[in-house]
C-alpha cells in the first residue's frame, strides 16, 4: 500500500535531497516531469495516522540513517 498527502514528482524529491544533503551529488532534474494529479481519497489514512508528514519530513526520516554524506 502506498499513501501520500499530496501530489509531487521526482524533481521535487531531488530538490529536497539537494537541500538535505548539499555535499552529495544528485542527478539533474528530469525534463517535462509533471506532477501526478490523480485524486485519491486519503481521509482514512489521515484518520489512521493522525496526520501527514510533509514530503521533506518523510524523505529525511527515511534517509537520515543512510550514508549520504
Query: Which pLDDT does position 68 carry in this prediction?
Result: 60
Tens of pLDDT, residue by residue over 19-29, are 999 999 999 99
pLDDT band at 34 (very low <50, low <70, confident <90, very high): confident
Query: Which pLDDT does position 45 carry in this prediction?
Result: 80
- CB contact set of 53 (below 8 Å; sequence gap of 6+): 5, 61
Query: Which pLDDT does position 7 carry in this prediction?
Result: 79
Is pLDDT above 60 for 1? Answer: no
Amino acid at each position: 500500500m502506498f499513501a501520500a498527502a499530496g501530489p509531487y514528482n521526482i524533481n521535487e524529491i531531488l530538490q529536497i535531497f539537494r537541500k538535505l544533503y548539499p555535499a552529495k551529488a544528485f542527478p539533474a532534474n528530469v525534463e517535462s516531469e509533471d506532477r501526478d494529479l490523480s485524486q485519491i481519497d486519503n481521509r482514512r489514512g489521515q484518520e489512521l495516522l493522525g496526520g501527514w508528514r510533509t514530503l521533506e519530513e518523510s524523505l529525511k526520516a527515511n534517509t537520515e540513517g543512510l550514508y549520504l554524506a
